[in-house]
Amino acid sequence: MNDDLFTFLIAGKAGQGTKKAGIVAANFFARFKRNVFQMNDYPSLIRGGHNFSIVSTSTQKIYSHYMKADLAVLLDQRSIKIHQNHLTEHGLLVYDDAIKKQEHGIGIPITSLAKKYSTPDLIVGIAGIATLVAAIACDRSILDTIIQKEYQRNVQDNLGYAHEIYDQVFEKTPKKFILRNGTDTDPILTGAETIGLGVSAAGLDLFFAYPMTPSTPILHFLSLQGKKLGVRTIQPENEIAVANMAIGATFTGARSMVGTSGGGFCLMQEAFSLAGMAEAPVLFFLGQRPGPSTGVPTYTEQGELLHSLYPGQGEFPRIVASPGSIEEAFYLSAELLNLAWHFQTPVILLSEKHLTESSMNVNLQPDKISEVKPLQHNNGNYQRYRKTDSGISPLLFPPSKEMIKWTSYEHDENGYTTEEAEAITQMHIKRRTKQESLVQYLKENIKTVNEYGSGEPFLFTFGSTTMTVREAVLVSGLQCSVIQLIYLQPFPSWHLQKYSGHKAIIIEQNSTGQLEQLLREKCGIHPITSIRQFDGRPFDPELLAEKLKKVTA
Protein backbone atom coordinates (compact mmCIF):
# COMPACT_ATOMS: atom_id res chain seq x y z
CA MET A 1 0.00 0.00 0.00
CA ASN A 2 1.32 3.45 -0.94
CA ASP A 3 1.49 5.58 2.22
CA ASP A 4 2.80 8.63 0.35
CA LEU A 5 -0.05 9.08 -2.10
CA PHE A 6 -1.63 12.48 -2.77
CA THR A 7 -4.37 13.11 -5.34
CA PHE A 8 -5.51 16.47 -6.71
CA LEU A 9 -8.79 16.87 -8.60
CA ILE A 10 -10.10 19.92 -10.43
CA ALA A 11 -13.51 19.87 -12.12
CA GLY A 12 -15.73 22.32 -14.00
CA LYS A 13 -17.06 23.10 -17.45
CA ALA A 14 -15.23 22.79 -20.76
CA GLY A 15 -13.49 26.10 -21.34
CA GLN A 16 -12.64 26.71 -17.68
CA GLY A 17 -9.11 25.38 -17.96
CA THR A 18 -9.36 22.18 -15.94
CA LYS A 19 -7.15 20.19 -18.33
CA LYS A 20 -4.49 22.89 -18.30
CA ALA A 21 -4.63 23.02 -14.50
CA GLY A 22 -4.09 19.25 -14.33
CA ILE A 23 -1.03 19.47 -16.58
CA VAL A 24 0.37 22.37 -14.54
CA ALA A 25 -0.26 20.47 -11.30
CA ALA A 26 1.62 17.45 -12.62
CA ASN A 27 4.60 19.65 -13.51
CA PHE A 28 4.35 21.30 -10.09
CA PHE A 29 4.65 17.95 -8.31
CA ALA A 30 7.67 17.14 -10.48
CA ARG A 31 9.42 20.17 -8.92
CA PHE A 32 9.57 18.12 -5.74
CA LYS A 33 10.92 15.09 -7.67
CA ARG A 34 7.66 13.25 -7.16
CA ASN A 35 6.19 10.74 -9.61
CA VAL A 36 2.78 11.52 -11.11
CA PHE A 37 -0.05 10.06 -13.13
CA GLN A 38 -2.43 12.57 -14.72
CA MET A 39 -5.74 11.77 -16.45
CA ASN A 40 -8.29 13.99 -18.21
CA ASP A 41 -12.03 13.30 -18.50
CA TYR A 42 -14.15 15.35 -20.89
CA PRO A 43 -17.17 15.10 -23.22
CA SER A 44 -17.14 15.91 -26.92
CA LEU A 45 -17.94 19.58 -26.33
CA ILE A 46 -15.92 22.78 -26.80
CA ARG A 47 -17.78 24.54 -23.99
CA GLY A 48 -20.09 23.38 -21.23
CA GLY A 49 -20.58 19.81 -20.11
CA HIS A 50 -18.45 18.39 -17.31
CA ASN A 51 -14.67 18.20 -17.41
CA PHE A 52 -12.18 17.14 -14.82
CA SER A 53 -8.49 16.47 -14.50
CA ILE A 54 -7.04 14.29 -11.78
CA VAL A 55 -3.40 13.98 -10.75
CA SER A 56 -2.08 11.35 -8.35
CA THR A 57 1.47 11.73 -7.06
CA SER A 58 3.91 9.80 -4.90
CA THR A 59 7.61 9.53 -4.17
CA GLN A 60 7.20 5.89 -5.22
CA LYS A 61 6.53 4.63 -8.74
CA ILE A 62 2.87 5.12 -9.66
CA TYR A 63 1.05 3.47 -12.57
CA SER A 64 -2.45 4.94 -12.36
CA HIS A 65 -4.58 7.82 -11.14
CA TYR A 66 -6.83 7.37 -8.08
CA MET A 67 -10.40 8.65 -7.99
CA LYS A 68 -10.39 9.50 -4.27
CA ALA A 69 -8.89 12.99 -3.97
CA ASP A 70 -7.07 14.56 -1.04
CA LEU A 71 -7.76 17.99 -2.51
CA ALA A 72 -10.69 18.69 -4.83
CA VAL A 73 -11.36 22.09 -6.42
CA LEU A 74 -14.88 22.17 -7.87
CA LEU A 75 -15.94 25.07 -10.07
CA ASP A 76 -19.66 24.41 -10.64
CA GLN A 77 -22.73 22.69 -9.19
CA ARG A 78 -22.51 19.70 -11.51
CA SER A 79 -18.99 19.02 -10.28
CA ILE A 80 -20.27 19.01 -6.69
CA LYS A 81 -22.92 16.45 -7.58
CA ILE A 82 -20.51 14.17 -9.45
CA HIS A 83 -17.47 14.39 -7.18
CA GLN A 84 -18.86 14.93 -3.68
CA ASN A 85 -18.01 11.34 -2.80
CA HIS A 86 -14.61 11.40 -4.47
CA LEU A 87 -12.76 12.53 -1.37
CA THR A 88 -10.42 10.58 0.89
CA GLU A 89 -11.27 10.34 4.59
CA HIS A 90 -9.39 13.56 5.39
CA GLY A 91 -9.80 15.12 1.95
CA LEU A 92 -10.36 18.85 1.49
CA LEU A 93 -13.12 20.22 -0.74
CA VAL A 94 -12.70 23.77 -2.07
CA TYR A 95 -15.59 25.07 -4.13
CA ASP A 96 -16.86 28.25 -5.72
CA ASP A 97 -19.00 30.06 -3.12
CA ALA A 98 -21.46 30.96 -5.87
CA ILE A 99 -22.59 27.36 -5.43
CA LYS A 100 -24.95 26.47 -2.61
CA LYS A 101 -23.04 26.23 0.68
CA GLN A 102 -21.65 22.75 1.27
CA GLU A 103 -21.70 21.10 4.69
CA HIS A 104 -18.14 19.88 4.23
CA GLY A 105 -15.82 22.17 2.32
CA ILE A 106 -14.50 25.67 1.99
CA GLY A 107 -16.24 28.21 -0.20
CA ILE A 108 -13.99 30.61 -2.09
CA PRO A 109 -15.23 33.43 -4.39
CA ILE A 110 -13.68 31.83 -7.45
CA THR A 111 -15.97 33.24 -10.15
CA SER A 112 -16.79 36.55 -8.46
CA LEU A 113 -13.09 37.41 -8.09
CA ALA A 114 -12.50 36.41 -11.71
CA LYS A 115 -14.95 39.09 -12.92
CA LYS A 116 -12.42 41.77 -11.97
CA TYR A 117 -10.10 40.56 -14.71
CA SER A 118 -10.12 40.66 -18.52
CA THR A 119 -10.96 37.00 -19.25
CA PRO A 120 -13.15 35.86 -16.33
CA ASP A 121 -14.39 32.68 -18.00
CA LEU A 122 -10.90 31.48 -18.87
CA ILE A 123 -9.02 32.52 -15.77
CA VAL A 124 -10.89 30.41 -13.21
CA GLY A 125 -8.73 27.34 -13.88
CA ILE A 126 -5.87 29.20 -12.22
CA ALA A 127 -7.87 28.99 -8.98
CA GLY A 128 -7.09 25.28 -8.90
CA ILE A 129 -3.35 25.87 -9.04
CA ALA A 130 -3.46 28.70 -6.49
CA THR A 131 -5.50 26.48 -4.17
CA LEU A 132 -3.07 23.59 -4.56
CA VAL A 133 -0.01 25.74 -3.81
CA ALA A 134 -1.69 27.24 -0.74
CA ALA A 135 -3.06 23.92 0.54
CA ILE A 136 0.38 22.34 0.70
CA ALA A 137 1.84 25.44 2.38
CA CYS A 138 4.17 26.51 -0.42
CA ASP A 139 5.39 30.09 -0.50
CA ARG A 140 3.52 32.45 -2.82
CA SER A 141 6.73 33.10 -4.74
CA ILE A 142 6.50 29.53 -6.04
CA LEU A 143 3.00 30.31 -7.30
CA ASP A 144 4.38 33.37 -9.11
CA THR A 145 6.98 31.24 -10.86
CA ILE A 146 4.33 28.78 -12.00
CA ILE A 147 2.00 31.48 -13.33
CA GLN A 148 4.77 33.28 -15.18
CA LYS A 149 5.85 30.06 -16.86
CA GLU A 150 2.51 28.34 -17.52
CA TYR A 151 0.02 31.21 -17.93
CA GLN A 152 1.96 33.82 -19.90
CA ARG A 153 -0.98 35.42 -21.71
CA ASN A 154 -2.35 38.32 -19.60
CA VAL A 155 0.23 37.39 -17.00
CA GLN A 156 -0.40 40.37 -14.72
CA ASP A 157 -4.10 39.58 -14.50
CA ASN A 158 -3.27 35.93 -13.89
CA LEU A 159 -0.86 36.84 -11.09
CA GLY A 160 -3.34 39.17 -9.44
CA TYR A 161 -6.13 36.60 -9.53
CA ALA A 162 -3.84 33.80 -8.32
CA HIS A 163 -2.72 35.93 -5.35
CA GLU A 164 -6.28 36.61 -4.25
CA ILE A 165 -7.26 32.93 -4.37
CA TYR A 166 -4.04 31.85 -2.67
CA ASP A 167 -4.49 34.28 0.21
CA GLN A 168 -8.07 33.18 0.88
CA VAL A 169 -7.29 29.48 0.73
CA PHE A 170 -4.19 29.86 2.89
CA GLU A 171 -6.21 31.72 5.54
CA LYS A 172 -9.18 29.33 5.54
CA THR A 173 -7.21 26.06 5.65
CA PRO A 174 -5.21 26.04 8.88
CA LYS A 175 -4.27 22.38 8.41
CA LYS A 176 -2.06 22.03 5.36
CA PHE A 177 -0.98 18.95 3.45
CA ILE A 178 2.68 18.10 3.79
CA LEU A 179 4.27 16.37 0.79
CA ARG A 180 7.63 14.69 0.99
CA ASN A 181 10.25 15.38 -1.64
CA GLY A 182 11.36 12.52 -3.83
CA THR A 183 14.94 11.66 -4.67
CA ASP A 184 14.70 11.58 -8.44
CA THR A 185 12.10 11.69 -11.18
CA ASP A 186 11.81 11.23 -14.93
CA PRO A 187 10.18 13.56 -17.49
CA ILE A 188 6.38 13.61 -17.72
CA LEU A 189 4.99 12.67 -21.14
CA THR A 190 1.68 11.54 -22.60
CA GLY A 191 1.25 8.32 -24.54
CA ALA A 192 0.79 10.32 -27.74
CA GLU A 193 4.14 11.99 -27.16
CA THR A 194 6.02 8.76 -26.45
CA ILE A 195 4.49 7.14 -29.55
CA GLY A 196 5.55 10.10 -31.67
CA LEU A 197 9.05 10.04 -30.24
CA GLY A 198 9.31 6.27 -30.67
CA VAL A 199 8.42 6.15 -34.35
CA SER A 200 10.60 9.15 -35.13
CA ALA A 201 13.55 7.42 -33.43
CA ALA A 202 12.92 4.43 -35.71
CA GLY A 203 13.09 6.62 -38.82
CA LEU A 204 9.48 7.62 -39.51
CA ASP A 205 9.27 9.98 -42.49
CA LEU A 206 5.56 10.67 -42.95
CA PHE A 207 2.55 10.63 -40.62
CA PHE A 208 -0.89 10.64 -42.28
CA ALA A 209 -4.07 11.26 -40.29
CA TYR A 210 -7.53 12.72 -40.39
CA PRO A 211 -8.41 14.11 -36.93
CA MET A 212 -10.22 11.53 -34.83
CA THR A 213 -10.00 11.09 -31.07
CA PRO A 214 -7.92 9.49 -29.61
CA SER A 215 -5.33 9.51 -32.42
CA THR A 216 -5.46 13.30 -32.88
CA PRO A 217 -2.94 14.06 -30.09
CA ILE A 218 -0.29 12.16 -32.07
CA LEU A 219 -1.11 14.29 -35.12
CA HIS A 220 -0.84 17.44 -33.01
CA PHE A 221 2.46 16.39 -31.44
CA LEU A 222 4.15 15.43 -34.70
CA SER A 223 2.81 18.57 -36.41
CA LEU A 224 4.41 20.73 -33.72
CA GLN A 225 7.63 18.79 -33.29
CA GLY A 226 7.99 17.22 -36.74
CA LYS A 227 10.66 19.61 -37.96
CA LYS A 228 12.91 18.73 -35.02
CA LEU A 229 12.13 15.02 -35.35
CA GLY A 230 12.40 14.79 -39.13
CA VAL A 231 8.76 13.78 -39.60
CA ARG A 232 6.31 15.47 -41.94
CA THR A 233 2.60 15.33 -41.09
CA ILE A 234 -0.10 15.27 -43.75
CA GLN A 235 -3.84 15.65 -43.18
CA PRO A 236 -5.72 14.48 -46.31
CA GLU A 237 -9.41 15.03 -46.94
CA ASN A 238 -10.65 11.77 -45.38
CA GLU A 239 -9.57 8.45 -43.88
CA ILE A 240 -9.62 6.58 -47.19
CA ALA A 241 -7.14 9.05 -48.64
CA VAL A 242 -5.04 8.79 -45.47
CA ALA A 243 -4.48 5.05 -45.87
CA ASN A 244 -3.97 5.10 -49.64
CA MET A 245 -1.46 7.95 -49.48
CA ALA A 246 0.50 6.15 -46.77
CA ILE A 247 0.69 3.01 -48.93
CA GLY A 248 1.76 5.06 -51.95
CA ALA A 249 4.48 6.75 -49.94
CA THR A 250 6.03 3.40 -48.98
CA PHE A 251 6.52 2.65 -52.70
CA THR A 252 9.13 5.42 -52.74
CA GLY A 253 10.86 4.08 -49.63
CA ALA A 254 9.31 6.54 -47.17
CA ARG A 255 8.54 5.13 -43.73
CA SER A 256 4.86 5.90 -43.25
CA MET A 257 2.40 5.76 -40.39
CA VAL A 258 -1.37 6.24 -40.17
CA GLY A 259 -3.32 7.56 -37.19
CA THR A 260 -7.02 6.77 -36.74
CA SER A 261 -9.75 5.37 -34.49
CA GLY A 262 -12.38 2.68 -34.99
CA GLY A 263 -14.75 4.49 -37.35
CA GLY A 264 -11.90 5.80 -39.47
CA PHE A 265 -10.23 2.41 -39.52
CA CYS A 266 -13.43 0.85 -40.88
CA LEU A 267 -13.11 3.13 -43.89
CA MET A 268 -9.53 1.94 -44.38
CA GLN A 269 -10.32 -1.78 -44.70
CA GLU A 270 -9.90 -1.96 -48.47
CA ALA A 271 -6.64 -0.05 -48.27
CA PHE A 272 -5.41 -2.28 -45.43
CA SER A 273 -6.04 -5.31 -47.62
CA LEU A 274 -4.27 -3.53 -50.49
CA ALA A 275 -1.24 -3.20 -48.22
CA GLY A 276 -1.45 -6.95 -47.56
CA MET A 277 -1.48 -7.79 -51.27
CA ALA A 278 1.08 -5.17 -52.33
CA GLU A 279 3.21 -6.11 -49.29
CA ALA A 280 3.35 -2.46 -48.28
CA PRO A 281 5.00 -1.78 -44.89
CA VAL A 282 2.61 0.68 -43.23
CA LEU A 283 2.18 1.18 -39.47
CA PHE A 284 -1.42 1.92 -38.44
CA PHE A 285 -2.19 3.45 -35.06
CA LEU A 286 -5.67 2.32 -33.97
CA GLY A 287 -6.91 4.23 -30.94
CA GLN A 288 -9.86 2.44 -29.34
CA ARG A 289 -12.88 4.26 -27.95
CA PRO A 290 -16.39 3.09 -27.00
CA GLY A 291 -18.54 2.05 -29.96
CA PRO A 292 -20.44 1.05 -32.00
CA SER A 293 -20.46 3.86 -34.59
CA THR A 294 -19.59 7.25 -33.08
CA GLY A 295 -20.06 5.73 -29.64
CA VAL A 296 -18.62 7.94 -26.91
CA PRO A 297 -15.74 9.53 -28.83
CA THR A 298 -13.74 11.10 -25.99
CA TYR A 299 -13.76 8.13 -23.62
CA THR A 300 -11.84 4.86 -23.37
CA GLU A 301 -12.57 1.19 -24.04
CA GLN A 302 -11.02 -2.02 -25.38
CA GLY A 303 -13.86 -3.14 -27.60
CA GLU A 304 -11.88 -3.39 -30.86
CA LEU A 305 -9.46 -6.15 -29.94
CA LEU A 306 -11.08 -8.81 -32.13
CA HIS A 307 -11.73 -6.27 -34.89
CA SER A 308 -8.03 -5.42 -35.01
CA LEU A 309 -6.83 -9.01 -35.50
CA TYR A 310 -8.17 -9.67 -38.99
CA PRO A 311 -8.83 -6.35 -40.78
CA GLY A 312 -9.03 -6.32 -44.55
CA GLN A 313 -10.20 -9.25 -46.64
CA GLY A 314 -8.09 -12.22 -47.60
CA GLU A 315 -5.18 -14.12 -46.10
CA PHE A 316 -1.93 -12.26 -45.44
CA PRO A 317 0.35 -11.63 -42.44
CA ARG A 318 -0.87 -9.10 -39.92
CA ILE A 319 0.91 -7.85 -36.81
CA VAL A 320 -0.99 -6.33 -33.87
CA ALA A 321 0.55 -5.22 -30.57
CA SER A 322 -0.58 -3.02 -27.69
CA PRO A 323 1.57 -1.13 -25.15
CA GLY A 324 0.86 -1.66 -21.45
CA SER A 325 2.30 1.65 -20.31
CA ILE A 326 3.13 5.11 -21.61
CA GLU A 327 6.82 4.25 -21.40
CA GLU A 328 6.41 0.97 -23.25
CA ALA A 329 4.57 2.82 -26.03
CA PHE A 330 7.87 4.51 -26.94
CA TYR A 331 9.76 1.27 -27.51
CA LEU A 332 6.87 -0.72 -28.96
CA SER A 333 5.94 1.88 -31.58
CA ALA A 334 9.55 1.87 -32.83
CA GLU A 335 9.66 -1.92 -32.80
CA LEU A 336 6.46 -2.17 -34.82
CA LEU A 337 7.64 0.30 -37.46
CA ASN A 338 10.78 -1.80 -37.90
CA LEU A 339 8.74 -5.02 -38.08
CA ALA A 340 6.51 -3.49 -40.77
CA TRP A 341 9.56 -2.91 -42.94
CA HIS A 342 11.30 -6.15 -42.07
CA PHE A 343 8.26 -8.26 -43.05
CA GLN A 344 6.74 -5.83 -45.61
CA THR A 345 3.24 -6.08 -44.22
CA PRO A 346 0.71 -3.78 -42.53
CA VAL A 347 1.07 -3.50 -38.76
CA ILE A 348 -1.31 -2.18 -36.08
CA LEU A 349 -0.30 -0.34 -32.92
CA LEU A 350 -3.45 -0.87 -30.84
CA SER A 351 -4.12 1.44 -27.90
CA GLU A 352 -6.82 3.46 -26.12
CA LYS A 353 -7.64 7.03 -25.20
CA HIS A 354 -6.54 6.36 -21.62
CA LEU A 355 -2.96 5.72 -22.71
CA THR A 356 -2.62 8.32 -25.47
CA GLU A 357 -3.97 11.26 -23.44
CA SER A 358 -2.83 10.43 -19.90
CA SER A 359 0.64 11.39 -18.72
CA MET A 360 3.20 9.97 -16.30
CA ASN A 361 6.93 9.87 -15.63
CA VAL A 362 8.84 7.89 -18.23
CA ASN A 363 12.45 6.84 -18.64
CA LEU A 364 13.18 6.88 -22.38
CA GLN A 365 16.48 5.71 -23.81
CA PRO A 366 16.54 6.57 -27.52
CA ASP A 367 19.95 4.94 -27.95
CA LYS A 368 18.20 1.58 -27.54
CA ILE A 369 16.24 2.23 -30.74
CA SER A 370 17.67 1.85 -34.21
CA GLU A 371 16.23 1.95 -37.70
CA VAL A 372 16.23 -1.61 -39.05
CA LYS A 373 16.97 -1.68 -42.78
CA PRO A 374 14.75 -3.94 -44.90
CA LEU A 375 15.96 -6.59 -47.31
CA GLN A 376 17.01 -4.74 -50.46
CA HIS A 377 17.73 -5.76 -54.06
CA ASN A 378 21.39 -5.61 -55.04
CA ASN A 379 21.89 -6.82 -58.62
CA GLY A 380 20.35 -8.79 -61.48
CA ASN A 381 16.79 -8.62 -62.82
CA TYR A 382 14.43 -7.26 -60.17
CA GLN A 383 11.32 -9.18 -59.14
CA ARG A 384 9.15 -7.31 -56.65
CA TYR A 385 7.53 -10.50 -55.35
CA ARG A 386 10.44 -12.92 -55.65
CA LYS A 387 9.88 -16.12 -53.73
CA THR A 388 12.43 -16.64 -50.99
CA ASP A 389 12.90 -19.13 -48.16
CA SER A 390 11.52 -16.55 -45.70
CA GLY A 391 8.71 -15.29 -47.94
CA ILE A 392 10.26 -11.81 -47.73
CA SER A 393 11.12 -10.30 -51.11
CA PRO A 394 13.95 -7.77 -51.65
CA LEU A 395 12.84 -4.15 -51.99
CA LEU A 396 13.89 -1.63 -54.63
CA PHE A 397 12.84 2.01 -54.81
CA PRO A 398 12.69 4.57 -57.60
CA PRO A 399 14.54 6.02 -59.39
CA SER A 400 15.78 2.80 -60.91
CA LYS A 401 16.45 1.34 -64.35
CA GLU A 402 14.72 -1.81 -63.17
CA MET A 403 10.93 -2.12 -63.36
CA ILE A 404 9.28 -1.86 -59.94
CA LYS A 405 5.69 -3.06 -60.05
CA TRP A 406 3.39 -3.08 -57.00
CA THR A 407 -0.20 -4.19 -57.51
CA SER A 408 -3.54 -4.81 -55.79
CA TYR A 409 -4.28 -7.73 -58.12
CA GLU A 410 -2.97 -11.25 -57.65
CA HIS A 411 0.35 -11.40 -59.44
CA ASP A 412 3.43 -13.37 -60.34
CA GLU A 413 6.92 -12.76 -58.97
CA ASN A 414 7.44 -9.79 -61.32
CA GLY A 415 4.23 -8.09 -60.20
CA TYR A 416 2.28 -8.83 -63.40
CA THR A 417 -1.37 -9.55 -62.74
CA THR A 418 -2.45 -13.15 -63.12
CA GLU A 419 -5.44 -15.43 -62.85
CA GLU A 420 -3.55 -18.65 -63.47
CA ALA A 421 -4.19 -21.32 -60.87
CA GLU A 422 -0.54 -22.25 -60.28
CA ALA A 423 0.59 -18.62 -59.93
CA ILE A 424 -2.24 -17.90 -57.47
CA THR A 425 -1.25 -20.94 -55.44
CA GLN A 426 2.43 -19.93 -55.37
CA MET A 427 1.68 -16.41 -54.08
CA HIS A 428 -0.55 -17.83 -51.35
CA ILE A 429 2.31 -20.11 -50.34
CA LYS A 430 4.69 -17.14 -50.38
CA ARG A 431 2.50 -15.10 -48.01
CA ARG A 432 1.96 -18.14 -45.77
CA THR A 433 5.72 -18.71 -45.65
CA LYS A 434 6.17 -15.11 -44.57
CA GLN A 435 3.59 -15.66 -41.82
CA GLU A 436 5.54 -18.68 -40.59
CA SER A 437 8.79 -16.66 -40.66
CA LEU A 438 7.07 -13.91 -38.68
CA VAL A 439 5.95 -16.31 -35.94
CA GLN A 440 9.43 -17.82 -35.70
CA TYR A 441 10.99 -14.36 -35.54
CA LEU A 442 8.68 -13.31 -32.69
CA LYS A 443 9.47 -16.50 -30.79
CA GLU A 444 13.23 -15.98 -31.07
CA ASN A 445 13.70 -12.21 -31.01
CA ILE A 446 10.72 -10.33 -29.58
CA LYS A 447 9.30 -10.05 -26.08
CA THR A 448 5.63 -10.77 -26.72
CA VAL A 449 4.41 -10.99 -23.10
CA ASN A 450 5.27 -9.05 -19.92
CA GLU A 451 5.18 -10.80 -16.55
CA TYR A 452 5.09 -8.82 -13.30
CA GLY A 453 5.19 -10.29 -9.81
CA SER A 454 5.05 -13.97 -8.90
CA GLY A 455 2.58 -16.57 -7.75
CA GLU A 456 -1.08 -17.34 -8.39
CA PRO A 457 -3.58 -16.17 -9.36
CA PHE A 458 -2.41 -14.99 -12.77
CA LEU A 459 -4.07 -11.72 -13.79
CA PHE A 460 -4.28 -11.53 -17.59
CA THR A 461 -4.72 -8.18 -19.27
CA PHE A 462 -3.53 -6.02 -22.18
CA GLY A 463 -3.15 -2.40 -23.20
CA SER A 464 -3.60 0.55 -20.83
CA THR A 465 -5.60 -1.61 -18.38
CA THR A 466 -2.22 -3.07 -17.42
CA MET A 467 -1.29 0.16 -15.66
CA THR A 468 -4.31 0.06 -13.38
CA VAL A 469 -3.98 -3.67 -12.73
CA ARG A 470 -0.37 -3.21 -11.60
CA GLU A 471 -1.41 -0.37 -9.29
CA ALA A 472 -4.35 -2.40 -7.94
CA VAL A 473 -2.02 -5.26 -7.04
CA LEU A 474 0.11 -2.82 -5.02
CA VAL A 475 -3.01 -1.49 -3.28
CA SER A 476 -4.39 -4.94 -2.49
CA GLY A 477 -1.13 -6.37 -1.21
CA LEU A 478 -1.94 -9.64 -3.00
CA GLN A 479 0.87 -11.99 -3.96
CA CYS A 480 -0.01 -12.64 -7.58
CA SER A 481 1.29 -12.26 -11.13
CA VAL A 482 0.22 -9.80 -13.81
CA ILE A 483 0.47 -11.26 -17.31
CA GLN A 484 0.29 -8.57 -19.98
CA LEU A 485 -0.07 -9.60 -23.60
CA ILE A 486 1.97 -7.21 -25.73
CA TYR A 487 1.52 -9.00 -29.05
CA LEU A 488 -1.99 -10.08 -30.01
CA GLN A 489 -1.45 -11.07 -33.65
CA PRO A 490 0.24 -13.45 -34.16
CA PHE A 491 -1.15 -14.59 -30.81
CA PRO A 492 1.74 -15.69 -28.52
CA SER A 493 0.18 -19.03 -27.58
CA TRP A 494 3.68 -20.56 -27.48
CA HIS A 495 4.37 -18.43 -24.41
CA LEU A 496 0.95 -18.60 -22.76
CA GLN A 497 0.14 -22.30 -22.88
CA LYS A 498 2.14 -22.89 -19.69
CA TYR A 499 -0.60 -21.06 -17.75
CA SER A 500 -3.32 -23.50 -18.81
CA GLY A 501 -4.77 -25.28 -15.79
CA HIS A 502 -3.66 -22.60 -13.34
CA LYS A 503 -5.82 -20.12 -11.44
CA ALA A 504 -6.47 -17.20 -13.82
CA ILE A 505 -8.41 -13.92 -13.69
CA ILE A 506 -8.92 -11.92 -16.88
CA ILE A 507 -9.30 -8.14 -16.61
CA GLU A 508 -10.34 -6.06 -19.62
CA GLN A 509 -12.40 -3.05 -20.66
CA ASN A 510 -15.15 -4.47 -22.85
CA SER A 511 -18.45 -6.20 -22.21
CA THR A 512 -17.99 -9.45 -24.14
CA GLY A 513 -14.61 -10.63 -22.81
CA GLN A 514 -12.66 -10.46 -26.05
CA LEU A 515 -9.30 -11.26 -24.46
CA GLU A 516 -10.94 -14.09 -22.56
CA GLN A 517 -12.26 -15.54 -25.82
CA LEU A 518 -8.76 -15.58 -27.27
CA LEU A 519 -7.16 -17.14 -24.18
CA ARG A 520 -9.82 -19.86 -24.01
CA GLU A 521 -9.67 -20.68 -27.71
CA LYS A 522 -5.92 -20.49 -28.35
CA CYS A 523 -4.36 -21.50 -25.02
CA GLY A 524 -6.97 -23.45 -23.06
CA ILE A 525 -6.88 -20.87 -20.27
CA HIS A 526 -10.20 -20.94 -18.41
CA PRO A 527 -10.44 -18.21 -15.75
CA ILE A 528 -11.96 -18.63 -12.33
CA THR A 529 -13.59 -15.26 -13.00
CA SER A 530 -13.43 -12.24 -15.26
CA ILE A 531 -13.48 -8.58 -14.28
CA ARG A 532 -14.81 -6.27 -16.97
CA GLN A 533 -15.62 -2.57 -17.09
CA PHE A 534 -17.23 -0.90 -20.08
CA ASP A 535 -18.55 2.50 -18.99
CA GLY A 536 -15.95 4.48 -20.93
CA ARG A 537 -13.83 5.10 -17.84
CA PRO A 538 -10.60 3.37 -16.86
CA PHE A 539 -10.56 1.16 -13.78
CA ASP A 540 -9.95 2.84 -10.42
CA PRO A 541 -7.13 0.87 -8.72
CA GLU A 542 -8.75 0.94 -5.27
CA LEU A 543 -12.09 -0.41 -6.54
CA LEU A 544 -10.30 -2.98 -8.66
CA ALA A 545 -8.24 -4.03 -5.63
CA GLU A 546 -11.47 -4.64 -3.67
CA LYS A 547 -12.80 -6.88 -6.44
CA LEU A 548 -9.55 -8.82 -6.58
CA LYS A 549 -9.61 -9.41 -2.84
CA LYS A 550 -13.18 -10.74 -3.04
CA VAL A 551 -12.54 -13.19 -5.87
CA THR A 552 -9.29 -14.47 -4.33
CA ALA A 553 -10.58 -14.79 -0.75
Q: Which tens digits make up the pLDDT trace of 145-173?
A: 999 999 999 999 999 999 999 999 999 99
188-368: in CATH 3.40.50.970 = yes
Domains 6-172 and 188-368 share a fold: no
The answer, yes or no, to whether the previous bond of 490 is cis (omega within 30 of 0) is: yes
125-135 vs 155-172: helix axis angle to the nearest 10?
Answer: 40
pLDDT of residue 379: 85
Distance CA 30, CA 26 (A): 6
- Architecture of the CATH domain 6-172: 3-Layer(aba) Sandwich (3.40)
> C-alpha distances in angstroms, 377 versus 18, 299, 317, 386, 401?
54, 46, 22, 10, 13
Cβ atoms of residues 36 and 62 within 8 Å: yes
Distance CA 220, CA 179 (A): 34
Paired with 373 in beta bridges are none
pLDDT of residue 47: 81
Distance CA 536, CA 193 (A): 22
pLDDT of residue 551: 92
Give the full edge-to-edge strand order of the sheet including 206-209: 232-234, 206-209, 256-261, 282-288, 347-352, 319-321, 487-489
pLDDT tens for 486-529 read 999 999 999 999 999 999 999 999 999 999 999 999 999 999 99
pLDDT tens for 44-65 read 988 889 999 999 999 999 999 9
421-445 vs 326-343: helix axis angle to the nearest 10?
Answer: 140
pLDDT tens for 89-142 read 999 999 999 998 888 899 999 999 999 998 888 899 999 999 999 999 899 999
Distance CA 546, CA 475 (A): 9
pLDDT tens for 456-490 read 999 999 999 999 999 999 999 999 999 999 999 99
For all residues of the chain together, what is the average pLDDT? 96
Distance CA 374, CA 408 (A): 21
Cβ atoms of residues 445 and 422 within 8 Å: no
The answer, yes or no, to whether the previous bond of 399 is cis (omega within 30 of 0) is: yes
Q: Phi first, then psi: give them for residue 108, nearest 5 degrees.
A: -130, 140
State the amino acid at position 458 in one-letter form: F
449-552: in CATH 3.40.50.920 = yes
Q: Is 27 left (phi over 0), alpha (psi -120 to 50) or beta?
A: alpha
Domain boundaries of the chain, sorted by first residue: 6-172, 188-368, 375-446, 449-552
pLDDT of residue 1: 55
pLDDT tens for 274-287 read 999 999 999 999 99
Cβ atoms of residues 87 and 93 within 8 Å: yes
State how far Cα 355 lies from the chain centre: 2
Q: Phi first, then psi: give them for residue 82, nearest 5 degrees.
A: -75, -40
Distance CA 56, CA 360 (A): 10
